[in-house]
């Protein structure tokens, strides 16, 4: 198992850089992971989406782009703007949860 340091905290990550212990997540850690993923600053909307993702994963729900688009925090188009490129992969990585099985 690999480790990375974000915001002065050593975080356990898998071979793709996803956190293996979501309890280590903080907003400060998220901000540093976001910078690595090419997102310079996280807005309140980013954090609302990240909290939604964390909640759904803790409930055992399967994450999809459609579900996030229906979350009330952003629509699908907005989700792609918040997390450009591969939004579900980036958002889950920044949210400190495991990579969704639907992501390759």
Do residues 102 and 65 touch, judged by C-beta distance below 8 A?
no
pLDDT of residue 101 exceeding 80, the answer is no
Q: What is the DSSP letter of 19?
A: B
Check pLDDT > 80 for residue 77. Answer: yes
**Over the stretch 1-23, which tens digit does the pLDDT of each residue have?**
699 999 999 999 999 999 999 99
Asked if residue 104 has pLDDT above 90, the reply is: no
Give the range of the structural domain holding residue 58, as residue numbers without chain letter.
2-95
The Cα–Cα gap between 65 and 39 comes to 19
Any domain includes 23: yes
Return the H-helix or E-strand segment holding 11.
strand 9-13
pTM, two decimals, is 0.92
Residues 6+ apart with CB under 8 A from 47: 27, 30
For residue 32, tell me if it sits in a domain. Answer: yes
User: What are the DSSP E strand ranges found in 15-77?
Assistant: none
Domain for residue 104, yes or no?
no
pLDDT digits (tens, 9 = 90+) for 20-61: 999 999 999 999 999 999 999 999 999 999 999 999 999 998
Give the chain's domain count: 1
Residue 101 in domain: no
Known catalytic residues are: 103
- Distance from C-alpha of 26 to C-alpha of 6, rounded to nearest angstrom: 10
Give the per-residue pLDDT at 102: 64
């Amino acid at each position: 198992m690999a480790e990375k340091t974000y915001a002065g905290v050593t975080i356990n990550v898998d071979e793709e850089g996803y956190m293996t212990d979501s309890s280590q997540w903080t907003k400060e850690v998220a901000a540093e992971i976001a910078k690595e993923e090419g997102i310079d600053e996280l807005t309140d909307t980013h954090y609302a989406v990240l909290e939604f993702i964390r909640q759904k994963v803790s409930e055992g729900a399967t994450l999809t782009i459609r579900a996030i688009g229906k979350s009330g925090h952003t629509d699908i188009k907005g989700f792609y703007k918040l997390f450009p490129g591969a939004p579900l992969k980036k958002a889950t990585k920044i949210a400190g949860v495991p990579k969704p099985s639907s992501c390759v």
